[in-house]
Amino acid sequence: MKNFQYAKAATAEEACGLSGKETRFHGGGIDLMGEMKDYIDSPSRVIDVSDLDQQITDKGDHWLIGGAVKLVAIVRHDALKKSLPGLVQSAEHVGSPQIRNVATVGGNIAQHSRCWYYRQPDVKCLKKGGSQCYACEGINKYHSIFAEGACISPLVSNLGIALSALDARVQVMRKGAVRDMSMEAFYELADVNPRAHNSLQPDDLVVSVKVPKGRKSSSYLQISEKGAFDWALVSCAAAADLQDGILRNVRLYLGVVSPIPYSREKAVAFLAGKKLNEETVAEAARLLMAKADPFEHNGYKVPMARAMAKRALLALEAS
Amino acid sequence: MNDDKKNNEAFRFSRRGFIKTAGPTTAAAMAGRVDEAVAEIEKSEKQELVGPAASPIELNINGETRRLKVEPRVTLLEVLRNHIGHTGSKEVCDRAQCGACTVLLEGEPVNACMMLAVAAQGKSIRTIEGISASGKLTSLQKEFVEHDALMCGFCTPGFITSLTALLEQAPNATDEQIQEACSGHLCRCGTYPKVLKAARAAAGRRGDA
Amino acid sequence: MSEGWPKNPKYLSKDLQRVDAHDKVTGKAEYAYDVHPKGCLYGQILRSRWPAARIQSVDLSVAQKMPGVKAVILIQKVPREVRYYGQEIAAVAAETTEQAEDAIRAIKMIAKPLPFVVNTIDALEEGAPAVFEGQSNLSKAKIRNKGNVDQAFNEAHAVIELAVSTQVEVHHPLETHGNTIDASGEEITCWASTQGITSVRGGIAKALDVPNNKVRVKMDFMGGGFGAKFGAGVEGVACAQLSREAGAPVKLMLSRFENHLSVGNRPNSLQHIKLGADKNGKLVAFDLNGFGSAGFASGGSSAGGGGGAGIPAPYIYDVRVQRSSQIGVAINAGSARAFRAPGCPPASFGIESAMDELAVKLGMDPVELRIINDPQEIRSKQWSQAADRFGWKNKYKKPGSSPGVVKTGVGCAGSKWAGRGKGSSAEVEIAPDGTVEVRCGTQDIGNASKTFMTVVAAETLGISPELITARVGDTTFPPSGGSGGSTTCPSVSPAVKDACDNALEALQEASGISDLSGANWKKACARLAPNPIIAQGKWKKGLSGSGTGGVQMAEVEVDTETGFVKVMKITCVQDCGLLVNRLTAESQMNGGIIMGIGYALYEERVLDPITGVALNPNFETYKLTSMADTPEIDLELQNMPERGVIGIGEPATVPTASAIANAVANAIGVRVLSLPITPDKVLNALSKVPAPEESIPWGRVASLTAQGEFIDLNSKEWIV
């Protein structure tokens, strides 16, 4: 990797103050160092934000989770397990223990594409400023089946999907001021701008995430090729209020099928007030997948996502 | 705690650590270099940014304070292997995908290949060399030997390191916990069944299926 | 057969702990990658970014002047052509790894990209880009024929046809390829990560134009090879040249990325198979039209070994009338190398898939069909032995009849391998203090060479293993050849035994004590003072055997909604000949099975047809089996001392994928016809999605076959 200047920030303000041209923030470093080692990005300055806010705080109607909270802290947090099982399950599925011990909440939701063309050091794809998305015509087994834009690399953040279902909001510091973004807003740029991984500007820093406790039931599931430590082919998160078997306030998101967390209003609306059972979830899953538009090698994601959606919804009962 | 105070404390810790390591007999002989290094650290801590040129860092490795000068891009694994000669941790994938470089940072397993040495300052680092420092095998290591939980041996230090952390936290670790602790490790020879058996035995369940 | 081995052994066939385990569990074991002579530099290689190009010029001048850089060399003179992504172009040595990397990136090249083809099926087409200009990408078809195939099919009671394919698998030993070499002086030392120290010595000596006796190759520990680490390799030669030019030792270990590209792989295969049986299930006709690629240099060898793409079909079964036509296809990719039982896993997958389809057609139990057709005496018993251990009779159900979303299924497959011994030599030194050193110029590649040498020496000398130190991996020791073909144990054990027998005789003579047992051992040795005695030994016929067989059975769960396959259990019954050390042999069997699971479900090299680059040169997307994917493994290692020592490292991996594939087909009632069996393919097989378009031009293959080279097997026996 290319050499750079390094500083460990003590506060978010200091981190933003140190941020200049060609700066990258370093949380757990797994995503960033992978890009740097493969010369996909070669920042001239790296600001280590791994020691910033590491608090998980119960704020009554919501949880406030610091941007530098390590995923291991979420996995081991008993109260969170009870309150937001979907979030904890999404963190449990991230990488390996070694990765969860360093990876941060901010780093996970802001992580960059894992598309194998993007990560290939000798391919200059659309996302890296090239003229072509090679995956569209190439080998797109791991790519999106719902893609609006020209880059079809899917969002792979586990937490991003779970937090979308939980209707979380992300606090982002931009030029010293904190702004509050919905999960939709946090990712929407990736759908329209092929070079974007999310909606963050280069020196934006994720300082915290607010997760409402409103929905009492939540779940997260993923399916991979291997039994452990493998990226999801499809993931699904659901959250709802479930009383006497009746679904209300349902949110349902799929991961790794689109450059952003994917949901469909029709499917969600269908679920409102319905009894949680096999027929309900089957119809919701059908509606959710109705607009899927797979490529040559990823048609399998359609039935797979349907199955994951059904199972994530049914898992609400247990949570 | 305001920033200045924090920096001062870090600085005091650094200097104390170094003098202790250098010891009374070598301190005199190295006096010139001590002053130089201390002065350099003092200077660098006043500026927050270090690099891109090599700058002094201080690492706590297996209970010893190590001081060296490296560029910010140098990884912890590179320092361990090529700067201080601790070659038990291996570079296999160089991307946090295999666990062969696993070390314990504040007692928790991390991939040294994906950690900047400069970012590991101020934290305790324990490597395979620190696990049986006395030369006596730990009970986990003995079980590895007894069960033949290794073949070519290249992945073995990584497994031992992760499982050591697990067994220190959960001496009677369950199979599920052992599986999870091993999930970040790859072995190409295929020693997993015996790694599992050895770890079970070390967790007090010898002879379990 | 092997009367030379003791009838009631004290140490043979038991569980001696791996003698170097202590060094491995403490991290003290020193691999080529860990050796660090004083002043050691770090080497790196610049590789082609193009799948095919004419390199017009390479400018090394900037790199040469960079900080810390001590040597920069060209791998081959320019202008030249490169024929695959990752082919070596230049190399540097510098004081730090970072400086070496900076210098590599400072080398500028002018190159003209050329048309390329990385897909085997595309390369087969007329008008495909030629990997070597002016030459066909295809070898002449080799047709091996026995009897009248067409007539036999006409007369057959049941005939099935299927087309299957297997992927390119990459060895990926955890220690990458590489060396630490000190060629700064007249005496050259090379610490190599190798399966063959002698061939590395030859390669380094030749590259530096020095006599063999000036090069010493050492290998104390090495982190796996699986067939890919025999010669000095381009990286070894470059390392030696850099060291000489820099006048300092150089360590050059490949990165994981590089290891994926240019140091070997298992060729892929596409097989169109036709199999016929009479009404009793006896096989009467076999026909294979096949092709595969061993990379850019795929010359179309179809002998089923080494670097060729040929496979030894129909593998373990004896079919009276058979025909096999195979074509080697060149593509712009790194060359294949021998990989754990070369040719056998793909051959096994093809024929065992066909056998199960035939069993369904005949309405027979798949195990029964195999027993009827297995020509090998030991294995034909193993089918029933394995079935009993596994509970086959209770578990086997009609394909697809398992209820529910998650379906279970079972499958079986068999293996054969020669595993014979060959010329090897060893020496034994008995010291006056009663300790013994056993030396052999073989390698310990994780197969426990040092351990089984200790077992054999302890048994033969009648002393405790604690008195013995076994040493390998040094070209100053008696030569033993490469560690491959499962030949190490059957070659080395007899040589060690012979050396020990000779040493005993010498000790008796020197000490005047004829009974060396018990306390007499130390007494006799003490009479040697001050000099030790050294005795030589050679591999001899009669102490080793060959022709091992094995059977594996697999049980799987398949989630029919997600396509996820979980292997629940593997039962393995393996003939081990004379089992030298049970504890470490078990590990080898486990290892072969676990590698076979990767071949069945996860591993596949993916090259991009658009850009020609490797898309998964890492462990994130080139997926290896993990602990979580490892099922219960039930081993029966059959110790048959009367057969002598036989190697078993390779056969262990052969039938696993075939058994798993058959189990998946048994579970879901349809067959996934290509490896690896990933969830997408399972869902495709279940018709949950239209399968991706893939048209294999079997018509063209057949017409190429018609122009092939005909070999009559009735006059020329062909056995792997």
Q: Mind giving me the DSSP string for chain A? A: ----EEEE-SSHHHHHHH--TTEEEESSSHHHHHHHHTTS---SEEEE-TTS---EEE-SSEEEEETT-BHHHHHT-HHHHHH-HHHHHHHHTSS-HHHHTT-BHHHHHTPPP--TTTS-TT---GGGT-S--HHHHS--TTS-SS--SS--PPP--HHHHHHHHTT-EEEEEETTEEEEEEHHHHHTHHHH-TT-SSS--TT-EEEEEEEE---SEEEEEEEESSSSS--EEEEEEEEEEEETTEEEEEEEEEESSSSS-B--HHHHHHHTT-B-SHHHHHHHHHHHTTT----TT-TTHHHHHHHHHHHHHHTTTT-
B104 vs C contacts (CB less than 8 Å) = none
Q: Report chain A's terminal Cα–Cα distance, integer Å.
A: 44
- Count of all residues that appear for chain C in the document: 720
Cβ within 8 Å, pair A226-C678: no
Chain C residues within 8 A (CB-CB) of chain A?
Answer: 49, 85, 98, 101, 105, 561-564, 566, 601-602, 606, 608-611, 613-616, 620-621, 623, 625-629, 678-680, 683-684, 688-690, 692-693
Q: Is residue B44 very low, low, confident or very high in pLDDT (cuts 50, 70, 90)?
A: very low
Instruction: Report the residue of C101, C172, C174 to disrupt the B interface, i.e. the one with the largest count of B CBs within 10 Å.
Output: C174
The CA distance from A249 to C261, in Å, is 51
B72 vs A contacts (CB less than 8 Å) = 3-6, 46
Nearest Cα residue to B92 out of B188, B190, B195 = B188
Chain mean position to CA C271: 21
Residues 6+ away with beta carbon under 8 Å from C506 = C430, C533, C535
B99 contacts chain A (CB < 8 A): yes
Residues 6+ away with beta carbon under 8 Å from C527 = C432, C510, C511, C512, C513
Write down the pLDDT at residue C706.
76
Residues 6+ away with beta carbon under 8 Å from A16 = A173, A174, A175, A176, A203, A205
* DSSP per-residue codes, A205-265: EEEEEEEE---SEEEEEEEESSSSS--EEEEEEEEEEEETTEEEEEEEEEESSSSS-B--H
Nearest Cα residue to C408 out of C559, C272, C203 = C559
Q: Which residues face C218 on adjacent strands?
A: C191, C474
Q: Which residues face A299 on adjacent strands?
A: none
HSE-up (13 A, CA, CB side) for residue C56 = 5
In the predicted structure, residue B41 carries a pLDDT above the cut 70 = no
User: Which residue shows structure tokens 């060209």?
Assistant: C74
Nearest Cα residue to C560 out of C669, C660, C657, C658 = C669
User: Which residue shows structure tokens 């462990």?
Assistant: C619
Nearest residue of A to residue B121, measured between CA atoms: A8
C105 vs A contacts (CB less than 8 Å) = 39
- The token pair at C146 is 């026995």
Give chain B's count of helices (H) and strands (E).
8, 5
Q: Which residues face B65 on adjacent strands?
A: B60
In the predicted structure, residue B22 carries a pLDDT above the cut 70 = no
| b/e map C164-178, b = 16+ CB within 10 Å | bbbbbbbbbbbbbbb
Predicted confidence (pLDDT) per residue in C191-204, tens digit: 999 999 999 999 99
How far C98 CA sits from the closest chain A CA (Å)?
Answer: 8
Nearest Cα residue to C507 out of C463, C561, C444, C474 = C463
Give chain C's count of helices (H) and strands (E).
19, 24
Q: Identify which of C21, C96, C619 has the shortest CB distance to residue B145.
A: C21
Instruction: Report the residue of B101, B154, B194, B196 to disrupt the C interface, i.e. the one with the largest count of C CBs within 10 Å.
Output: B154
Write down the pLDDT at residue C712.
75
Write down the pLDDT at residue B208.
54
Our CA angle for C93, C97, C103, nearest 5°, is 55
User: Which residue shows structure tokens 């065992």?
Assistant: C352
The CA distance from A187 to A192, in Å, is 10
* Average pLDDT along chain A: 97
Instruction: List all residues of chain B from 37 to 76 with a beta carbon under 8 Å from chain C.
Output: 71, 73-74
CB A87 within 8 A of CB A219: no
CB C281 within 8 A of CB C374: no
Chain mean position to CA C454: 25
Write down the pLDDT at residue C717.
41
* DSSP per-residue codes, C370-407: HHHH---HHHHHHHHHHHHHHTHHHH--STT---SSEE
* CB neighbours of residue C130 within 10 Å: 17
In the predicted structure, residue A314 carries a pLDDT above the cut 80 = yes
Burial class (CB in 10 A: 0-12, 13-18, 19+), C221: buried
In the predicted structure, residue B11 carries a pLDDT above the cut 50 = no
Sign of the torsion angle spanned by Cα atoms C40, C36, B153, C478: positive
Write down the pLDDT at residue B16.
29
Phi then psi for C544, rounded to 5 degrees? -125, 160
C451 vs B contacts (CB less than 8 Å) = none
Tell me, what DSSP letter sits at residue C75? Answer: S
Nearest residue of A to residue B185, measured between CA atoms: A96
Predicted confidence (pLDDT) per residue in A115-166, tens digit: 999 999 999 999 999 999 999 999 999 999 998 889 999 999 999 999 999 9
The amino acid occupying position A238 is A
Write down the pLDDT at residue C297.
83
The CA distance from A65 to A81, in Å, is 14
Inter-CA distances, B57 with A221, A243, B108, C584, Å: 43, 57, 22, 44
Q: Identify which of B49, B111, B115 has the shortest CB distance to residue A6.
A: B49
Q: Is residue B28 very low, low, confident or very high in pLDDT (cuts 50, 70, 90)?
A: very low
Our CA angle for B70, B76, B78, nearest 5°, is 70
Cβ within 8 Å, pair B183-A72: no
Write down the pLDDT at residue B10.
34
Sign of the torsion angle spanned by Cα atoms C177, C183, C184, C187: positive
Write down the pLDDT at residue C422.
87
User: Which residue shows structure tokens 């009632």?
Assistant: C669
User: Partners for C (CB, 8 Å, 3+ pairs)?
Assistant: A, B
Cβ within 8 Å, pair C256-B160: no
The CA distance from C362 to C563, in Å, is 28
The CA distance from C146 to A204, in Å, is 72
Bridge-based pairing of strands A5-8 and A45-48 is parallel
User: Which residue shows structure tokens 């699904």?
Assistant: A236
The amino acid occupying position C75 is I
- The token pair at B179 is 């599986």
A96 contacts chain C (CB < 8 A): no
Q: How many CB pairs under 8 A join A and C?
A: 96
The CA distance from C315 to C352, in Å, is 9
In the predicted structure, residue A20 carries a pLDDT above the cut 90 = no
* DSSP per-residue codes, C279-320: TTS-EEEEEEEEEE--STT-----SSSTT-----TTTT---S
Cβ within 8 Å, pair A298-C680: yes
Predicted confidence (pLDDT) per residue in B133-159, tens digit: 888 999 999 999 999 999 999 999 999
**Is the peptide bond between C67 and the residue preceding it cis, with omega within 30 degrees of 0?**
no
Write down the pLDDT at residue C239.
98
The CA distance from B116 to B94, in Å, is 13
- The token pair at A227 is 């039994």
Nearest Cα residue to C137 out of C167, C113, C164, C115 = C115
In the predicted structure, residue B205 carries a pLDDT above the cut 80 = yes
Crossing angle of the two packed helices C197-208 and C233-246, in degrees rounded to 10: 50
Write down the pLDDT at residue C715.
54
The amino acid occupying position C563 is G
Please give the residue that has the higher pLDDT: either A97 or B5: A97
Average pLDDT of span A158-187: 97
Tell me, what DSSP letter sits at residue C577? Answer: B
Cβ within 8 Å, pair C255-B94: yes
Nearest Cα residue to A6 out of C308, C205, B48, C702 = B48
A212 contacts chain B (CB < 8 A): no
Average pLDDT of span A167-196: 96
The CA distance from C311 to C325, in Å, is 10
The CA distance from C570 to C267, in Å, is 25
Q: Is residue A236 very low, low, confident or very high in pLDDT (cuts 50, 70, 90)?
A: very high
Q: Identify which of C17, C176, C223 has the shortest CB distance to residue B146.
A: C17
Residues in chain C where the model's pLDDT stays below 70? 1-3, 298-307, 691-694, 713-720
Cβ within 8 Å, pair C629-A227: yes
User: Partners for B (CB, 8 Å, 3+ pairs)?
Assistant: A, C
* CB neighbours of residue C707 within 10 Å: 9
Q: Report chain B's terminal Cα–Cα distance, integer Å.
A: 53
* CB neighbours of residue C318 within 10 Å: 12
